[in-house]
Structure 1
Amino acid sequence: MDENVVSINLNRLMQTIEASAQIGALPKGGIRRLALTNEDQHMRDLFVKWLKEAGLTVRIDDFGNMYGRKEGLNPDASALLIGSHLDTQPEGGRYDGILGVLSALEVLRTLNEQKIKLERPVEIVCFTNEEGARFEPPIMGAGGLAGVFDESFVFSRTDKDGKTFEEELKRIGYQGQKENRAENIFSYIELHIEQGPVLEHENIDIGIVTGIQGMNWLEAKVIGQSDHAGPTPMSMRKDALLAASKMITTINQVVLEQDNEATATVGRLSLTPHSINCVPGEVIFSIDVRHSDDRIRKHLLNEIQQRISTIAVIENVQIEIKEIWETPSSHFSTQLIDCISEEADRLGYSTKKMISGAGHDAKYMNKLADTAMIFVPSVDGKSHCQEEFTKEDHIKRGANLLLHVVQKIAQLNKIEV
């Protein structure tokens, strides 16, 4: 393995990750750090301190996206962006998104320590509200930057307590200026944990991501009749939960009939009146459908809606389906994919090209510039939970690969087509 030229400081990177993990820390080692909360503000304050200590120029845009810039030798050259996000799920892990931001910081710390000059500028970017756990939809900071969502849409999103995105962004002191948005972007690279079991199962060091699945979020409302659990005969009920359970089972079956890549998930469910001795009169549940082929994804959506609507008729209930969010599949730059492959080979790392089943900031950054992603293994494939874990050896390999890829890309005048 050829790492003689330069290597990241693993101990320092792990200390940085540990410091992050203390902000919003949960009992089992995870983090609760929802976007634009007090915990998010605390993490942002610390991140800005780290950026300044690394000698980077800090700025914040109107969506709250944060940037740390290392200038290049050519002041007119477009910038290479590297980063991810620092917000988490309600019971999230300490690596999801965070590893990409803090590894990017370590890359620039290392470059500055080694006094390595690059042709073009390099910017760390930390995006706001990638998870979408507090404000829906997800990937909002990157989506705003890429023009997928306009300002008024982003600022008007509300959480479950009715607080708006803009109110909370201002409250924590991180609404910057529109003129601070990233522009003149050469390319974007994001390091991330896999969040699945494939790399670990196949004993592979690095996943080279070729694209991201398209996905839909839907919400289904099943309307029946609330009744007393005792006097109401089974044959005369309009049980919304019974109907919903059959629908959920059918959704799973539709996807299993398709192929090994397609996924569908019901991750959120609520029922009314939510009482032990009442027949449920209303059930609302979410549907998440994903596939890298948009034609297949749309076929699955159509099939799911037809089948659950049929169940509603049979069970004598009503159903209302609304779309929460849709994003098409993304396919990354073949030139950047080749660059990552070449550097990984040079470092002696085993690799696998793979599609991402999870959404990432890279999905929308792909609309602005050539984009690619690097995955490192997740132990047991766990993510979006406190048990999420990635081994130090894999973190070192991922961060070192990012370091070498940054050096190579930041010296290029153009990406050859």
Structure 2
Amino acid sequence: MATISAGSGTNDDAPGPSDPRIDPDRLLATLSRFATFGATDGGGLNRLSLGDADGQARDELCAIARRRGYRVEVDPIGNIFITRPGLDETLPVLLVGSHLDSQPFGGRYDGAYGVLAGLEVLRSLDDAGLRTRRSVTLVDWTNEEGARFSPGLLGSGVVAGTISLADAHARTDAQGITVGQELDRLGYRGAFDSSSLAVHRSFETHIEQGPVLERTGTDIGVVTGVQAIRWFDVLVQGQDRHAGTTAHSDRQDALVAAARLIEVVDRMADTVDEKLRATVGEIRVQPNSRNVIPGRAVLAIDLRHPDPARLDQAEEQLRRAAAEVAEQRGVRTEVHQVLEMPPTAFDAGTTDLIRRAAASLGRSAMEMSSGAGHDSMNVASRAPASMLFIPCVDGLSHTQAEDIHDEWAVNGASVLLTAVRWAAEEAAGHSPE
């Protein structure tokens, strides 16, 4: 991908700066347009990272940016950075955006809304003929979901230094295709040195992915941080045998033993803390045949809580239960931790800008912690960062049924625009009076 020279990103015919406003029709039309890339029959998206549909969405985003005269840069892991230049390009930039990839049968707004709300902010500044002091850079992070290539948060992780570029390029999908191969195929292995990008503040707009905002009738979630996450793979090794000839007393059924552990995980919110989120999201069984007693089962377990001490309790319960089940059922169990993400506290000043922006527009807001992981967790290790949430219907996300109301989409983009305007005029970390 070539680097595109910057234009002003403004309307030279405008008589002078005016108060910028989100264009609701344009925002909603753009959301609809991008929902066609990877659209499913169920009304959702199948836009896996670096697949053909993701390539189409990336191409469309870059084409819009080039027509506007923005600078388009792509780094070696495929993150796209689109910059609307400010009056002083020596100053650290304002970063906005999210991701365009989806789950295999995900929704139209998870991630994509944050990218396109950020795009609408840039275009709204154009409409008003307003040149900000600082440049505003829109980002589309590569492989946030991790649905095709593991781990998720891959693009932002490379920038944050939590994963090496070489390791990221070598990650494979289920067919053995690497990230590097797909970047080359789509033309998105760029040369921009994103690790050197100086960021003044970062804002990520996202759907809540939960029911709280809708249930309370609140317009905006002011996100103060992201809870801690731990993933475990639990191996249960028994003995596969003939289903018709083996008495129950002689069985070492790995799947039955695994089911006992699933019950333990399901009860953890009662035994540890109601804030705990404990999930068995995947079961892999071998030989997975109707008339064979399962000899091996692997459980993929996801534990989340704002307090790492509570996660310690949950992990202790899991390990103790695995040992007890092994003894009771005559199987062998192994508990392997595959991921640990500490809680992330977002920058108080950036969070306060979102809170004040919502208030200035008459939008109700509440503080909340994110239960899901986001690229802003990685960004927060490098720069002051925060997030703002909008409601989603019935709290549904990572499903084709994911939906938002038009008003919610416009509210979030409007609050983002106001916060960006204020932050773009800051001199040294303080909002202008």
The aligned amino acid for 2:80 is M
Aligned partners of 1:53, 1:302: CA distance in 2, in Å? 56
Does structure 1 retain, via aligned residues, the 8 Å contact 2:160–2:195? no
2:249 aligned with 1:235, yes or no? Answer: yes
Aligned partners of 1:358, 1:386: CA distance in 2, in Å? 18
State the Cα deviation string for residues 372-393 of structure 1 (Å, max 9, x = none).
1000001000000000001000
Q: 2:12: which partner in 1?
A: none
Secondary structure in structure 2 of the residue aligned to 1:349: coil
Q: 1:107: which partner in 2?
A: 121
1:335-414 matches, within 5 Å, as 335-414=349-428
- Of the candidates 73, 82, 101, which is equivalent to residue 96 of structure 2? 82
2:55 aligned with 1:44, yes or no? Answer: no
1:18-417 matches, within 5 Å, as 18-181=32-195, 183-416=197-430
The aligned amino acid for 2:320 is Q
Secondary structure in structure 2 of the residue aligned to 1:290: strand
In terms of mean alpha carbon deviation, does 307-316 or 374-383 score higher?
307-316
Aligned partners of 1:251, 1:41: CA distance in 2, in Å? 39
The aligned amino acid for 1:385 is T
State the Cα deviation string for residues 149-176 of structure 1 (Å, max 9, x = none).
1112211211111111112221211111
Does structure 1 retain, via aligned residues, the 8 Å contact 2:73–2:192? no
Structure 1, unmatched stretches of 5+, are none
What displacement does 1:284 show? Answer: 1.3
What displacement does 1:181 show? Answer: 4.5
The aligned amino acid for 2:104 is P
Secondary structure in structure 2 of the residue aligned to 1:268: strand
Question: What do you get for the CA RMSD once the two structures are aligned?
Answer: 1.3
Secondary structure in structure 2 of the residue aligned to 1:191: strand
Aligned partners of 1:199, 1:51: CA distance in 2, in Å? 32
What displacement does 1:217 show? Answer: 1.6
The aligned amino acid for 2:97 is G
- TM-score w.r.t. the length of structure 1 is 0.97
What displacement does 1:416 show? Answer: 4.0
What displacement does 1:184 show? Answer: 1.1
- Cα 1:262–1:31, aligned 2, differ >3 Å: closer, same or farther? same
Does structure 1 retain, via aligned residues, the 8 Å contact 2:95–2:202? yes
2:22 aligned with 1:8, yes or no? Answer: yes
Aligned partners of 2:336, 2:178: CA distance in 1, in Å? 22
Aligned partners of 1:133, 1:215: CA distance in 2, in Å? 17
Secondary structure in structure 1 of the residue aligned to 2:47: coil
Aligned partners of 1:102, 1:11: CA distance in 2, in Å? 13
Number of equivalent positions: 414
Does structure 1 retain, via aligned residues, the 8 Å contact 2:160–2:382? yes
Aligned partners of 1:84, 1:35: CA distance in 2, in Å? 13
Structure 2, unmatched stretches of 5+, are 1-17
In terms of mean alpha carbon deviation, does 186-195 or 5-14 score higher?
5-14
- Cα 1:379–1:182, aligned 2, differ >3 Å: closer, same or farther? farther
State the Cα deviation string for residues 352-373 of structure 1 (Å, max 9, x = none).
1000000001011000100010
What displacement does 1:182 show? Answer: 5.5
Does structure 2 retain, via aligned residues, the 8 Å contact 1:374–1:398? yes
The aligned amino acid for 1:261 is K
Secondary structure in structure 1 of the residue aligned to 2:40: coil
State the Cα deviation string for residues 87-109 of structure 1 (Å, max 9, x = none).
00000100000000001001101
The aligned amino acid for 1:141 is G
Does structure 2 retain, via aligned residues, the 8 Å contact 1:218–1:322? yes
What displacement does 1:320 show? Answer: 2.3
Percent identical among aligned pairs is 38
Secondary structure in structure 1 of the residue aligned to 2:281: coil
Does structure 2 retain, via aligned residues, the 8 Å contact 1:205–1:394? yes
Secondary structure in structure 2 of the residue aligned to 1:266: strand
What displacement does 1:414 show? Answer: 1.9
Does structure 2 retain, via aligned residues, the 8 Å contact 1:137–1:324? no
What displacement does 1:119 show? Answer: 0.7
In terms of mean alpha carbon deviation, does 94-103 or 211-220 score higher?
211-220
State the Cα deviation string for residues 22-74 of structure 1 (Å, max 9, x = none).
11110111000001111111111111101112221000001100010011111
- Cα 1:111–1:98, aligned 2, differ >3 Å: closer, same or farther? same
State the Cα deviation string for residues 175-222 of structure 1 (Å, max 9, x = none).
111524461111110000000000001110000000001111221121
Aligned partners of 2:342, 2:182: CA distance in 1, in Å? 29
Which structure 1 residue ranges, 4+ long, deviate > 6 Å from structure 2? Answer: none
Does structure 1 retain, via aligned residues, the 8 Å contact 2:322–2:334? no
State the Cα deviation string for residues 106-145 of structure 1 (Å, max 9, x = none).
1101101211111111100000000000111110101111
The aligned amino acid for 1:323 is Q
